[in-house]
Amino acid sequence: MDVPVSYYVVLSGIVFSIGLVGVLIRRNIIIILLSVELMLNATNINFVAFSSYLGNLSGQVFVFFALTVAAAEVAVGLAIIIALYRHSSSINIDDFRLLKW
Amino acid sequence: MGTFAFFYFAGIIVATAGMVVAFKNPIYSALALLVMFFHVAGLFVTLHAEFLAIIQILVYAGAILVLYLFVVMLLNLKREEHFHRQLLVGVFLGCVLFAEAVLLVLKGETTLGNSLPAADTSVELTRGNTESIGELLFSTYLFPFELASLILLVAMVGAVILTKKGILEVKN
């Protein structure tokens, strides 16, 4: 345990910021979902680091739940992407600017 | 040794995370994310979270990323030649967010370092990580655990319904 916990916080801050920038600057919806995965992983690193430093396993259980939500999000998100691609044969985010109503 | 391992894993994680965002070909992005997942799992091992490290590899690398690769290869994607025109704004916002996080950590450094009680690893060391997590999951967190199964069920039904033909298509 010779690495201070703040190092882990800074690492997860870097990864979270990269994920945020990815969501903002990419046009491909699949890459945007991958960037969301990056952000989820950043929070997971934080949870595990604090759980290990506090000697409390609840943080690791929370990572378990975050993983469940990530899996559900990927399933539904990719289904939506496939439906969108069938609808307009594009997954460029700029092509979907109009709401139906 | 621990410090060296941390900096190795952290360096690869940051580099591959940057590659995920920077690569123009979605397949390269997904493969960079795969490398990142493996190194996050390595970081979990150095933090004595062996169960989560295995779950990270099984679920993230084994299931989620394969799903991404299937979809990337299923859709006939063109290379994305340009980033979004709000590139500068996005990078600026990311830098601001990161600076905020670092400032908060620096400000809380004294409290963060001192107020943490000495790690009580005796439970995990004598009984093993997986056993402890399992017991916690089926006692304290039993209700959220059941709720997680419900979330997965809803996601599964939703994915089937959404990809069914004729849901989002224009009727003609």
**Residue pLDDT, tens place only, B40-92:** 999 999 988 889 999 999 998 888 999 999 988 888 776 666 777 778 888 88
**A79-93, B135-149, B156-170, range with greatest mean pLDDT:** B135-149
Domains, chain B, ordered by start: 1-81 (1.20.120.1200)
Q: How far is CA B162 from CA A70, B148, B166, in A?
A: 18, 21, 9
Test B64 with A70 for CB contact under 8 angstroms.
yes
Provide ipTM, 2 decimals.
Answer: 0.90
Does residue A1 surpass a pLDDT of 80?
A: no
pLDDT at B131: 86
Query: Could you give the count of Cα atoms lying within 13 Å of B109 in the half-sphere of its Cβ?
Result: 7
Domain ranges of chain A: 5-95
CB A18 within 8 A of CB B14: yes
Report DSSP state, residue A93: G
pLDDT at B88: 84
- Mean pLDDT in residue range B122-147: 80
- Mean pLDDT in residue range B111-127: 55
**Tokens representing A53?**
């430093």
Q: How far is A95 from chain B (nearest CA, A)?
A: 12
Which chain B residues contact residue A30 at CB under 8 A?
26, 68, 71-72, 77
- Mean pLDDT in residue range B151-158: 93
> What number of other Cβ atoms are within 10 A of residue A34's Cβ?
27
Q: How far is CA B18 from CA A16, A31, B11, B15, B109, in A?
A: 11, 12, 11, 5, 27
Is residue A11 packed enough to be buried (19+ CB in 10 Å), middle (13-18) or exposed (0-12)?
A: buried
Say which CATH topology domain A5-95 has: Helix Hairpins (1.10.287)
Q: How far is A2 from chain B (nearest CA, A)?
A: 6
**Tokens representing B117?**
């009680």
pLDDT at B109: 64
- The residue to which tokens 């690193």 are assigned: A45
